[in-house]
Structure 1
Amino acid sequence: MTYDDVLIVGSGVAALQLAAFLNKNVNVRILTKSKVRNANSYLAQGGIAAAIGKQDHPSKHFMDTLKAGRFHNNVESVRKIVNEAPTLIREIFAKSSVFDMDSNGEMLLGMEGAHSEKRIVHSGGDATGKNVVEYLIDQLKDNVKIEEDVYAYELIVKENRCIGVKTKKPNGEIHVYYGNNTVLATGGCGQLYTYTSNAETVTGDGIAMAYLAGAEIADMEFNQFHPTLLSINGETKGLVSEAVRGEGGILVTEDGTPIMEEVHPLKDLAPRHVVSQKIYEYISKGKKIYLDIDSIPNFTARFPSITEICEENGVDLSKGKIPVVPGSHFLMGGIKTDLIGRTTVDGLFAIGEASCTGLHGANRLASNSLLEGLYQGKKLSEWINQAMMKPLSVEPIKIPNHINTKQANLPEKSILQHKMMEHVGIVRNKELLKEQVNWLTQFKVNEITELDEYSIDDIERIFMVMVAELITVAALKRTESRGGHYRSDYPKEDDRNWLHQTITHIHKGEEEKSHEQIQTIFTA
C-alpha cells in the first residue's frame, strides 16, 4: 500500500509551489498524467501580475481585477491575493534571476489588457511559465516524489473524507495511492474546444473526479477565450501572448483596418471577452484577422518563443502580420474552494485553475492565473505544515484483475470539440445550448458508476463529456451576458438576478444559488 501525507495530482505552478513549500518531514507525492513539464503552466507566455511599480498599488490591481471580472468576483479573495502578490514575486526574485530586469537591475514591468499600470513581470521575454516551473522544480526537496504517466481517475471517499486516488498506467494497470491530504491541481478543460491554447492533457479530469466525489462545482459557464491564437489553415498552432498587444500590436483586417477603434476605450487592450467577441464577429463573416506587429521594435528579441512558433509554421514576420483566432484559454469556474483550496469534501483540496476561489469572477484579468497558483500553493503548504496530521486508518480497497474490458458509447474527441466550439463557444444562445444539452445527455455518462474496466482513453472522454455537460447546463441557466459568458439572446448584464455563483452538486442534481451577494460585499 502506498501512503503519503500529501498526494498532489498535477504538475503545474500551483502543484510545484505547494510541494516546494511543504516541510521536509512531510511525505509528498506528485502524480501527473503525462510528463511533469507537460502542463499549461509550462506553456504560459504571459507573466505574473503584481503591483510593484512606483506608481502602482495593490488597490489599483484590486480594481482592475474586479472590472475585468465584471464584479462577479469574491472580493475578499481578490483583496488577499493582490495584496500578497508583491511579496510572492519578491520572494522568487530574491532567490533567483528568473525575472527579466531593466538596466537598473529592477524587475522589468510590462502592460497587458485591462491593467491600468505596467505590473506584469516576465521571464525570458515570453517564456515565463517555463522558467518559473523550472525554478520551482529546482526548489523541490528529497521528501517530494514525482511519478509520471500516471492517470488519476477516481477519488476514494469514505464518510465524506477523501483518503486517496485510483490511477491507471498506460498498460491499464491499476494502482491506489492513499494520502492524508489529496490535492487536485489538474488545470482547466481547454481541450473541450477545437481552438485552444491548452496543453493536450488539459481535459477537465480533476473537475470531473471532484464532481463524482460529491464536491461542489462553481461557475462553469465562465470560459475565457484568448483573443490571439496563431491560426494556420484553420488550425491553432500556439498562443500569441497578450503582451504583444501590450507592446503596441493592433488587431486588423486583411486590408489593415483596425477592428478595436470604436469598440472599447482601451481598444486592443480591452478585456479579453470583448476582444474575442469582436474577432469572432469578423471571422463568422468569413473575414481573416491579423495581429499587426509593425510598431514593435526588436519583436524577435522581445518575443523569442512566439517568433519560434511563427517561423515553425511558415509565418513571415517581416511582413508584420500574424494570423490569429480566439480560442479556449482559461476556466474561471471549477471546483469550489476557499482561498487555500479546501473543497466541500473533507481531505480534498483543489488549487490553480482546477479550483474556483472567486478571484477571477466572470473573466480573468491577464496574468492573474500564475499569481493565483503561487498564492494557493504557498498558503495551503502553510496550513498543512501547521496541521496535526494523524495517519489515516485505511483498509485497502480491492483492485480488479480485469482491465480495459468495457467500451463506452462516446463521441470522438474532435466531434465533441467541434460541437462545443459551435454551440457553447464565444457566442451562445438558448437554441444552440439546448441542442448541445440534448446531444450530450444521450451518452449517459452520469449513469456510469464503475470506471475500473474502461481504458484511459475512454475514461478521459467520459470526463470530457461530463464536464462539457456541466458547462453547457450552467451556460443555459445563466440568462445574462457577463465576462466570458456571452448570450446573444440576453446580451446585457443582469445584476439584480445573476450576481451569484452557479453551483452544481451531484447529490442534489440541480443548480443552487449562493446567498453571498458579491456586489453587496463590494459596496460595503
Structure 2
Amino acid sequence: MKQTIKKMSVSTSGSRRPRVIVVGAGLAGCYLATRLQDCCQVILVTKGTQQESNSMLAQGGIAVALDPGDSPQQHEQDTLAAGDHHNRKAAVAQLVTNGPVEVRRLIEAGMQFDRTAAGALAFGLEGAHHRPRVVHADGDQTGAAVTSFVQGQLAKTIQWHCQTTVVRLLTKQNRCIGVVVRGTSGQLQELFADAVVLATGGLGNLYDFTTNDGTVTGDGLALALRAKVELTDMAFVQFHPTLLSLQGKCYGLVTEAIRGAGAVLVDEQGTRIMAQVPQQDLAPRDVVARHLAAWRAKGHQTYLDIRAVPDFEQHFIGVTANLDAHQVPFRQTKLIPIQPGAHFMMGGIKADLMGQTSLPGLWAIGEVACNGVHGANRLASNSLLDCLVSGAKAAENIIEVTCQLTSPTTENVTGSIGVATADFAEAPQTEPVKLPELAALQHQAWTNLGIERTHHQLHGFLRWLAQFDADTLAPEKLTADQNVIANLCLCAAAIAQAALAQSKSLGAHHWREVDKNESCAS
C-alpha cells in the first residue's frame, strides 16, 4: 500500500534566517543548538524524550586540561596513546586546546562542577590518564547535570519534535536539504533546512550487553549509509570493562572513576586481574576489557573491589543508588560484580574538523561522527568534551556556510524539490519483510563482533546477514521496530567489513590469537 508523505511547513518568525535541523537531543546536538539559536531557526528532532540519550547516562565526567599543573599537550599525549596513535593529530589538538575554552564557557554561564573544600575544581583520575584531569558534576552524574544545564540554555524559539524518528535524509543535486520523519501518529513528514546535523549517538544496542540508552540504535549511521555518505573506522567499537552484571544481564555502567579512586579488579578468589599489566587497573579500556574477557573465559567471576575507595557512597551517588536498586550487598562484601560490555563507537560518519561530511549540507557531531579524534580506542571522559568542541566548531561552520546562502522561505524550498520526494514515496514494498529478531542479531553481534574477532567468525556473520533484506528495504515502509533492526543490520555489516579490512590488531579491534592459521585460509 502506497503511503503518502506530508510536506510540513515549519513555522518561523523571520523566514530569511537559515534553518537548521539537528537530529539528536544529547549534549552535542543541544550544545550546537545553543550556539545557533540567536542567528538561525533551529529544529531539534529526537526519537525519544529530551531526557533520553547517552549523554544523560554519562557518569565519568569531562577530561579537560584546566588544572594549573596540567597542559593540553599532556592531555594530547594521553589521548594519542589510548587511541593507539591511530588518531588524527589535528583533531586531537583541536579537542585539547578548544576543550578548556568550552568548559570555561559553561562555568561562566553558571554550570556547577564539583569543587574541593578550598573551592578549586576537583579533578578525578581515570584509565590511561597520567594525571587527574576529569571534572565532575553531582559526583558520578556528570552527563545528566551538564546536558540538563545546556538544555536549560536553549531559547523558547527552539522547535522540538520529540518521539519523532528520522527515517531518511532528503537530498537534491548532491546536497542534503532536509529529512523525512515519522512522529507518534505514524504519518511521514518532510522537514526542509539549509543545514542538517546528525548528533544521534552510536550503536550500542547492536549488542545485548551495553551501557547505552535504549534509543541508541545506529540510526544516524544507517541514515548516512542509505544516502551513500562516507563512513570510516567502523572496526573500532569500545567495550567498557565494568558494567554491573547480575545473572548474565547488564544493569548499567559502573564508572571508571571508581578505579581512579582506588578500586581494583579481582576474581572470586580475590586475585588481582590487572596486577601484571602496565598501568594495571587504569590501563586503556581495550586492554582491561580483553583481560577481563580472558579471565571470564577461564571460568572466573569478575568483580570491582572497592575496599580502598574512601567515602564510596558519598562520591558515587548514582552507582550506589543503582546497586541498592538491584540489591547488591556491596556494603558487606565490598565487591561489585562486573563484566565488559559495548560502550562507545570510535568510528562513524567521516567528518572534518568542522563536522562537515562527504554530503554537502550535512554535518555530523558527537559519537555518530568520526573526525579521527578518538583513534582506535577512546580515552576515558573525552566523549563529553568532544560533544562540546565538535558542537561549537560545527555551529561556527554552519553560520559561515549558511550565511553565504540566500535562505529561502519554506514555500519555495518545498516547491523546489517536489519531484525528489516522489522517488521514495513510490518505493516498492518488500514483501514479506525479512529481518532477524533483535535478540538474535544482538547475540550474533556479541559473539562475532565483540572484544576479540576471527576471520572465520566475521565471514560467517556476513553470510548470516546476507539472508535478510536490511540493505534493500525502504525505511518508510517499515514499522518502528523493523526500522531499528534494519538500521542495526546495516551498522553490523559495516563493522564486519571494516574489521576484515584491518590486517592487524589495533586498539579496540583485536584478532584472536587462534585466528592466525584461520586467516591464511580465509
**Which of the numbers 167, 180, 200 marks the counterpart of 2:181?**
167
Distance 1:400 1:214 in 2: 19
Q: Which residue of 2 aligns with 1:38?
A: 52
Q: Which residue of 2 aligns with 1:209?
A: 223
- Are residues 491 and 441 of structure 1, via their aligned partners in 2, closer, same or farther at CA, if it must alter by over 3 Å? closer
Distance 1:490 1:69 in 2: 25
Q: Can you list the C-alpha shifts for 1:473-496, whole angstroms capped at 9, x where unaligned?
A: 11122121111101014999xxxx
Distance 2:254 2:429 in 1: 40
Q: Which residue of 1 aligns with 2:315?
A: 302
Distance 2:91 2:453 in 1: 29
Q: Can you list the C-alpha shifts for 1:211-266, whole angstroms capped at 9, x where unaligned?
A: 11111000100000000000010000000000000000100001111000112x21
Q: Which residue of 1 aligns with 2:520?
A: none
**Which of the numbers 509, 513, 521 marks the counterpart of 1:485?**
509
Q: Which residue of 1 aligns with 2:299?
A: 286
Letter of the 2:417 partner, please give it.
E
**How do 1:493-508 and structure 2 match up within 5 A?**
none
Measure how far apart 1:453 and its partner are. Answer: 1.8
Measure how far apart 1:88 and its partner are. Answer: 1.3
Matched, 1:2 2:2: no
Q: Can you list the C-alpha shifts for 1:321-344, whole angstroms capped at 9, x where unaligned?
A: 000010000000000001121000
Aligned-partner SS, 1:152: strand
Matched, 1:75 2:51: no
Question: Any conservation in 1 of the 2:86–2:376 contact (CA below 8 Å)?
Answer: yes
Q: Which residue of 2 aligns with 1:519?
A: none
Measure how far apart 1:175 and its partner are. Answer: 1.1
Question: Any conservation in 1 of the 2:433–2:469 contact (CA below 8 Å)?
Answer: no
Question: Any conservation in 2 of the 1:404–1:454 contact (CA below 8 Å)?
Answer: no
Measure how far apart 1:23 and its partner are. Answer: 4.1
Q: Which residue of 1 aligns with 2:459?
A: 434
Question: Any conservation in 2 of the 1:172–1:456 contact (CA below 8 Å)?
Answer: no
Q: Can you list the C-alpha shifts for 1:385-424, whole angstroms capped at 9, x where unaligned?
A: 3341323543343595999996521111111111111111
Q: Which residue of 1 aligns with 2:407?
A: 391
**How do 1:57-456 and structure 2 match up within 5 A?**
57-263=71-277, 265-318=278-331, 319-387=333-401, 388=403, 389-392=405-408, 393=413, 394-396=416-418, 397-398=421-422, 407-448=432-473, 450-456=474-480
**Which of the numbers 17, 25, 39 marks the counterpart of 2:31?**
17
- Are residues 454 and 56 of structure 1, via their aligned partners in 2, closer, same or farther at CA, if it must alter by over 3 Å? same
**Which of the numbers 462, 469, 486 marks the counterpart of 2:493?**
469
Measure how far apart 1:44 and its partner are. Answer: 0.2
**Which of the numbers 465, 471, 483 marks the counterpart of 1:459?**
483
Aligned-partner SS, 1:7: strand
Q: Which residue of 2 aligns with 1:48?
A: 62
Distance 1:379 1:344 in 2: 17
Q: Say what the alpha-carbon RMSD is for the aligned residues.
A: 1.8
Q: Can you list the C-alpha shifts for 1:420-479, whole angstroms capped at 9, x where unaligned?
A: 11111001111111111111111132223x322211111111111111000011112212
Letter of the 2:475 partner, please give it.
L
Aligned-partner SS, 2:102: helix
Aligned-partner SS, 1:445: coil
Aligned-partner SS, 2:476: coil
Question: How many pairs does the alignment contain?
Answer: 490
Question: Any conservation in 2 of the 1:407–1:454 contact (CA below 8 Å)?
Answer: no
- Are residues 490 and 142 of structure 1, via their aligned partners in 2, closer, same or farther at CA, if it must alter by over 3 Å? farther
Unpaired segments of 5 or more residues in structure 1? Answer: 493-524
Letter of the 2:199 partner, please give it.
A
Q: Which residue of 1 aligns with 2:3?
A: none
Aligned-pair identity (%): 40
Unpaired segments of 5 or more residues in structure 2? Answer: 1-7, 11-17, 517-522
- Are residues 382 and 282 of structure 1, via their aligned partners in 2, closer, same or farther at CA, if it must alter by over 3 Å? same
Distance 1:431 1:141 in 2: 53
Distance 1:419 1:221 in 2: 16
Q: Which residue of 2 aligns with 1:521?
A: none
Distance 2:318 2:19 in 1: 38
- Are residues 21 and 491 of structure 1, via their aligned partners in 2, closer, same or farther at CA, if it must alter by over 3 Å? farther
Distance 2:490 2:197 in 1: 21
Aligned-partner SS, 1:363: coil
Q: Can you list the C-alpha shifts for 1:74-129, whole angstroms capped at 9, x where unaligned?
A: 00000111011111111111221421011121111000000011100000000000
Distance 1:80 1:225 in 2: 25
Distance 1:304 1:403 in 2: 52
- Farther off after superposition, 398-407 or 213-222: 398-407
Distance 1:483 1:400 in 2: 43
Q: Can you list the C-alpha shifts for 1:14-73, whole angstroms capped at 9, x where unaligned?
A: 000000111423100000001111000000001001111121111000000000000100
Question: Any conservation in 2 of the 1:164–1:176 contact (CA below 8 Å)?
Answer: yes
- Are residues 174 and 72 of structure 1, via their aligned partners in 2, closer, same or farther at CA, if it must alter by over 3 Å? same
Question: Any conservation in 2 of the 1:481–1:490 contact (CA below 8 Å)?
Answer: no
Aligned-partner SS, 2:211: coil
Aligned-partner SS, 1:379: helix
Aligned-partner SS, 1:156: strand
Aligned-partner SS, 2:491: helix
Aligned-partner SS, 2:104: helix
Distance 2:324 2:268 in 1: 20
Q: Which residue of 2 aligns with 1:503?
A: none
